[in-house]
Chains A and B, each alone.
Chain A
Amino acid sequence: MSASASYLARRAVQKERVRILYRRALKDTLNWAVHRHLFYQDASELREKFDANKNVEGIETIERLIADGEAAYNKWRHPDPYIGKYYRKSFISP
């Protein structure tokens, strides 16, 4: 397959979507984890899910996987995300 400019551009956009998705899912994992050790476990599993698809080829397959991932993220997003500084839990309601 010749690496045309549009193909490379599409792949670059896909890579960015993956990075942003991973970042948002990782942050959401922290929202869900009541205890810190749970966060590490969940974060580890999240990373494994992404790594499992690391070498997938085929731009349309990749597109579908990203769409599935974004849908899963939107489905499982924490309904009451912790907005603010992660280092300190605020006891004042938002």
Chain B
Amino acid sequence: MASALRAAILGHIRVPVAQTLTLNGSKLSLFGAVRSMSSHGDDHLTREEVIDRVLDVVKSFPKVDASKVSPDVHFQKDLGLDSLDNVEIVFALEEEFKLEIPDIEADKIDSCPLAIEYIYNHPMAG
């Protein structure tokens, strides 16, 4: 009985793996760290919270049609923004999550999935 219960629980626990993203065909490993299931994971943002707040920032951008925003959108390809708008959005995300992103990393964030992934994996996101 206990082993069946244990199996059922394990079937529902998501085991974190090293996050690697494919960017233009090349592997981009953000931090390359395995997210450990530490007991003080409570003070880190949940994925849902990151998604909600990222979408809010993007939707609030004046040039954006909020109805087109989803967690999958590419800022330039789907929302019709240009590269400088992209810079402004990343800057707004840094302010929202109280992060300092290095210029080279920031320049690569050009979509909601990348923004969400980067912020969710950043230990200092608040």
Asked if A23 and B91 make an inter-chain contact with CB atoms under 8 angstroms apart, the answer reads yes
Asked if B95 and A23 make an inter-chain contact with CB atoms under 8 angstroms apart, the answer reads no
Give the chain B neighbours of A20 by CB distance below 8 A.
103, 107
Q: A15-B83, A47-B84 are known contacts. Are A23 and B107 too (CB-CB below 8 A)?
A: yes
Q: A15-B83, A19-B107 are known contacts. Are A85 and B88 too (CB-CB below 8 A)?
A: no
A15 to B83, CA, bound (A): 9
Interface hits, B64-84 → A, CB 8 Å: 83-84
Give the chain A neighbours of B87 by CB distance below 8 A.
19, 22-23, 26
Give the chain A neighbours of B86 by CB distance below 8 A.
19
**Smallest CB separation, A13 vs chain B (Å):** 12
Does A87 count as interface, using CB distance less than 8 angstroms?
Answer: yes
**Smallest CB separation, A74 vs chain B (Å):** 15
Q: Chain A interface residue count: which class?
A: 10 to 19
Does A50 count as interface, using CB distance less than 8 angstroms?
Answer: yes
Give the chain A neighbours of B88 by CB distance below 8 A.
26, 47
Give the chain B neighbours of A68 by CB distance below 8 A.
none
A8 to B114, CA, bound (A): 26
Give the chain B neighbours of A19 by CB distance below 8 A.
83-84, 86-87, 107
Does B94 count as interface, using CB distance less than 8 angstroms?
Answer: yes
Does A27 count as interface, using CB distance less than 8 angstroms?
Answer: yes
Asked if B83 and A23 make an inter-chain contact with CB atoms under 8 angstroms apart, the answer reads no
Residue on B nearest A15 in the bound complex, by CB? B83
Asked if B103 and A24 make an inter-chain contact with CB atoms under 8 angstroms apart, the answer reads yes
Does A86 count as interface, using CB distance less than 8 angstroms?
Answer: yes
A2 to B106, CA, bound (A): 32
Give the chain A neighbours of B94 by CB distance below 8 A.
86
Does B47 count as interface, using CB distance less than 8 angstroms?
Answer: no
Asked if A86 and B84 make an inter-chain contact with CB atoms under 8 angstroms apart, the answer reads no
A22 to B106, CA, bound (A): 12
Binding site for B on A (CB under 8 A): 15-16, 18-20, 22-24, 26-27, 47, 50-51, 84-88
